[in-house]
Amino acid sequence: MSINENFELAKQAYAKWGVNVDEVIEKLKAVPISIHCWQGDDVAGFEVNQNELSGGIDVTGNYPGKATTPEELRSDLDKALSLIPGKHRVNLHAIYAETNGEVVERDQLEPKHFENWVNWAKERGLGLDYNPTLFSHPKADDGLTLSHPNEEIREFWINHCIGSRKIGEYFGKELGTAALTNIWIPDGYKDIPSDRLTPRKRLKESLDKIFAVEVDEKYNLDAVESKLFGIGSEAYVVGSHEFYLNYAAKNNKLCLLDTGHYHPTEMVSNKISSMLLFSEKVALHVSRPVRWDSDHVVILDDELKEIAYEIVRNDALDRVIIGLDFFDASINRVAAWTIGTRNMVKALLYAMLTPNDYLKQLQEEGNFTERLALMEEFKTYPFGAVWDYYCEKMGVPVRESWLEDVKGYEKEVLSKR
C-alpha cells in the first residue's frame, strides 16, 4: 500500500480513541527543536588560539569529514536540516564566534562576532540559542571558573557570561524569537572536598553579578544547567541540581535539565511535571548517557518517549524548551544530527498520538487494568504510518531513504576535507 493509504488506515485506528491525526500533525509542525552545532566539529570551535577540549568533556572517534570552518559547519547543518521534518533552531557556543583571524578573548566577544550566524539563520527562518563557553581555556585549567577562589579569574568568566547574555539578546532582536542563553560550568573537585559551601557561595555571588546586568527578556531567556559529576569532578560539582533548582526558583531563571547529568537510574522524565508546577518554562538538553554522561546520539528509547509523554500529556509543548546535546565522532556527524533530531520529533509524535486524556481518566477512576492494557496496546499502533506521511508532507526523505542523501554528501563533500 502507498504512504497515503497506510496513513488513512492509521487515522481511522487513532480516531477510534478520539485522536485527530491531522490536528496532531499541525501541532507538531510548530514545535522547534534546538539543534546543537557542536556535533558537527567535535566541540572544537573556531577560536584562533584553539585550546584542547577540557572541562570533563570527551569526544571519542575519528570519523572523517569533521567541519573545520564556520562555512563547513553551516553547510553540514543545512544538509541535516534538509533531512529533518519541521522548522527548528540552532544552538551555538561562544567558541563558534568568527573573529576574522583576530585573537578575541571570550570576555570581549560581541554580537558582531556572530553576524554571519545571524545572517545565515535569518535566510532560513531559524532561531538561534547560545551558551557561554566556560571550558577548553587556560583560565579553566584547574577545573574552576565562576566559583574560582581567584577574584580575577572569576571576573573574567563573569564578564564572559554578561557578554553572552547580550549576544543572546542580539539573536532575539535580529531573528524575532527569543534566544535561550544557558550557563553551564565544569566547576568541581576530583576527590572529596573539605568545604562544599564556600565554592557555592562564590558561584551564587558570580551569578548574581551576571544577572544584575539588565537584558530584555523579550529577546533573551536565561537558564542555568546543573551536573552531578564529570571527568575530573567525580566527587563534587559546585553547580549541583539542588543549587540551580533553588537559584532558578528564587531568581526567576530557567532551570535546564540535561538528561545525562544525573545518576544513571535518575530519570529526567520524572522531574518535568514537578518543574512545571513551579516554573513557567523548563529547558531541556536531551542526550543519551551510557554508564556516564557520555553524550551518545539520541535514540527512540523508553526514556525519550517518557520525556515526550510528560511534555505532551501536561500540555506543555509551549513551556518546555527542547534542545539536544550529544556528540559522536565515531560516525558520520550529519547522520548523527539527523538520527538524533528525527528521533526527538518522532517521540513527540508518538506521545501526541496517544489518548492521554482518557488514560488520565482511567487513573483517576482507579481503573489500572484498562490503563495498563491500553498503554501497552498503543505501543504497536500504526505510529510509523503517520511518521512516514509527516515526513513526506514536510518534504524530507521517508524512512531510511535519508541515508542515501548523507552518503552522497559524504562522497561529494565530507570526504574531500
Catalytic residue positions, numbered: 184, 225, 227, 258, 261, 285, 293, 295, 325
At 246, phi and psi to the nearest 5? -70, -40
CA pair distance 245, 230, nearest whole angstrom = 19
DSSP at 178: P
3-state helix, strand, coil in the chain (%, to 5): 50, 10, 40
Beta bridge partners of 285: 258, 323
At 222, phi and psi to the nearest 5? -95, 135
CA pair distance 370, 375, nearest whole angstrom = 8
CB neighbours (10 Å) of residue 376? 9
Judge residue 100's burial from the number of C-beta atoms within 10 Å of its C-beta, 0-12 exposed, 13-18 middle, 19 or more buried: exposed
Taking Cα atoms as reference points, which of 145, 357, 349, 312 lies closest to residue 238?
Answer: 145
Judge residue 278's burial from the number of C-beta atoms within 10 Å of its C-beta, 0-12 exposed, 13-18 middle, 19 or more buried: exposed
If phi > 0 it is left, if psi is from -120 to 50 it is alpha, else beta; for residue 101 that is: left
CA pair distance 187, 243, nearest whole angstrom = 13
CA pair distance 8, 11, nearest whole angstrom = 5
Residues 174, 225: contact at Cβ < 8 Å?
Answer: no
Cell numbers for 260: 545525562
Cell numbers for 327: 556528540
